[in-house]
Structure 1
Amino acid sequence: MDEYFSYDERLGIPIPSFKVDWDQFSKKIQQSILFQWEKIRGTIPDRISELEKLINVKQDQLSDEENFIKSCELNSQISELASIINDLWLWYRTNQDISEKVHM
């Protein structure tokens, strides 16, 4: 299944990466891909939880930070983590209808 997914360093999960259109895959391959995606998709809430914990740590650091430049860096890091969380939720929700096909 590795040929149908590529690991996204930023998101911390594999995401679908097809070289051909979905309809060109056999039904068996489609089902295998959907099953694999369902397993990956199931890890997204845990990944989001990890990132939320990092945000909390950085917010705690920010509340104690007196150096303006360091405060800006922490704000930027928090913003990037929040952006990753948003993207993960998009992947989780956008593909929910596809994942439901696994159970049909």
Structure 2
Amino acid sequence: MKFEFVYDERLGIELPMLHEEWEALTVAEQAVLLNDWERIRGRIPDRIMQLEREIVDKQNRLNVEDDFPTSCRLNTQIAELASCITDLHLWFRADSRVSDKGHD
């Protein structure tokens, strides 16, 4: 197998993993990979919206939280969710070939 898609638990999507250089793939293999990636990539905006809803929920909880350790925990969780959104934006906007090669 020259490539596969591996589920990334943190981002909640499958990411492409090449086991060979892009140029070593046949045109047909490149087409399959790109077709599969476009299908996955199309779900990224929905995943981002889901994470944004989680952030809003945590921010609402943070607004009424009086316990400092709990506030710190919520802030950390919000920061991690925001980091995931940033990474998803990068995956969504990146050229497929560049993204695949850059994340082996």
TM-score by length of 2: 0.88
Deviation, structure 1 residue 97: 7.8
Alpha-carbon distance in 1 for matches of 2:62, 2:96: 36
Structure 1: 4+ residue segments shifted above 6 A = none
Q: In the alignment, does 2:36 pair up with 1:36?
A: yes
Letter in 2 for 1:16: P
Where do 1:6-45 residues align within 5 Å?
Answer: 6-45=6-45
User: What residue ranges of structure 2 are gaps of 5+ in the alignment?
Assistant: 99-104
Distance in 2 between residues matched to 1:26 and 1:33, nearest whole Å: 11
Q: Deviations over 1:35-70 (max 9, x none)?
A: 000000000000000000000000000000000110
Superposition deviation, residue 96 in structure 1: 5.9
| 1:34-73 superposed matches below 5 A | 34-73=34-73
Structure 1 unaligned spans of 5+: 99-104
Contact 2:44–2:92 (CA under 8 A) maintained in structure 1: yes
| Matched pairs, number | 97
Normalised TM-score (structure 1) = 0.88
Give the CA deviation at 1:5. 1.0
8 A contact 2:11–2:88 mirrored in 1: yes
Rounded Cα–Cα distance in structure 2 between residues aligned with 1:96 and 1:16: 9
Q: Classify 1:96/1:33 alpha carbon distance in 2 versus 1 (closer, same or farther; 3 Å).
A: closer
Q: Which has the higher helix share?
A: 1
Instruction: Percent identity, please.
Output: 48
Which structure exhibits the higher relative contact order, with contacts defined as CA atoms closer than 8 Å and separated by 6 or more residues?
A: 2
